[in-house]
Copies of this chain bind each other. A is one copy, B any other.
Amino acid sequence: MQSPTLREALAALRRAPLLTGLSAGMVALALFVAGLFGTVTHNLQVALQSVEDRVAVVAYLDDGAGPAPIDRAVADLEARDDVREVRYVSQDRALEIARAELPELAELGAGLAENPFPASLEIVLQDGGADPDAIAVVAQAAAAIPIVEDVQYGQEWVDRLHALRRLTGVAVMVIGAAFAVVGALIIGTAIRIAIFARRDEIYIMRLVGAKDAFIRRPFLLEGAFTGVVGGAAATGLTWLTYQTLHRFLEDLSWIPSTWVVGGIAAGGFFGMLASAVAVRRHLREV
């Protein structure tokens, strides 16, 4: 004979495959919702990151600045730890960009006596540099360079981005917590119902002299199994949804595989935990 725990768990599956299947399905659905939420969250993060990457301090240069001092300024700034990249934007390029971004400027052009846009250095900060204080430090450093006439860093943008980050942080936490609770309740409920359907059996086991631990173990295994199967199925469903959406939204990216593995493991652990709680409560009631 195999281990009693394994055998009992398999017996449950064999005797009531419907029930176990339904529980696993329910868990899968709960985790699927979590998976969709994860996909949205992940893509939000990616999107935010790409916006953050665009946060740059712009140092406008004297119109007369020559190539040598400009190169030196670029080198100096790039040497800083908090700066990732420095890009030089010439006067001509600035005009071009302005034309592309503001339709009204398309009207300008050859008609102008002189290019009104100054040359500039776009200073891209290291990751996580969107913090207003960190930006101010870089801006001061840039302002200290002689050929720099003025430094701008889109105060408004930085603040807005910060607000957005806080907001999405809160939203992710609140909705994420809601989903986690929902998932927890669904798994727990599914397993309580499974136990409810087998209450006679548990009662008989006790009458025959089984220790609580002995009764509990197969349920824990079953819970873990249900959780893992549910988690795997949820991953499959999320992947299908992702694939479908991906056809229309090419920017969409798949959640990191660590999340997937973590999610399935959490499903298993969580299934076991929910079983433990449900059985413990049930054993106390009988």
Contact = CB atoms under 8 A, between A and B. Distances in A.
Contacts of A178: 32, 36, 237, 241
Interface string A108-138: 1001110011101000000000000000000
Interface stretch (A221-229, A243-251, A253-261): A243-251
A26 B197 contact: no
Interface stretch (A71-79, A140-148, A167-175): A167-175
Contact of A117 (B104, B167, B179): B104
A193 B19 contact: yes
Contacts of A36: 175, 178
Interface string A188-202: 011011101100000
A186 interface: yes
Contacts of A116: 105, 107-108, 111-112, 116
Interface stretch (A4-12, A95-103, A212-220): A95-103
A98 B94 contact: no
A67 to B, nearest CB: 21
B106 A174 contact: no
A103 B193 CA distance: 63
A107 B118 contact: yes
A241 B245 CA distance: 26
A181 to B, nearest CB: 9
Nearest to A189: B22
A87 interface: no
A94 B104 contact: yes
Interface of A: 16, 18-19, 22, 25-26, 29-30, 32-33, 36, 58, 60, 94, 98, 101-108, 111-113, 116-118, 120, 150, 152, 154, 166-167, 170-171, 174-175, 178-179, 182, 185-186, 189-190, 192-194, 196-197, 237, 241, 244-245, 248-249
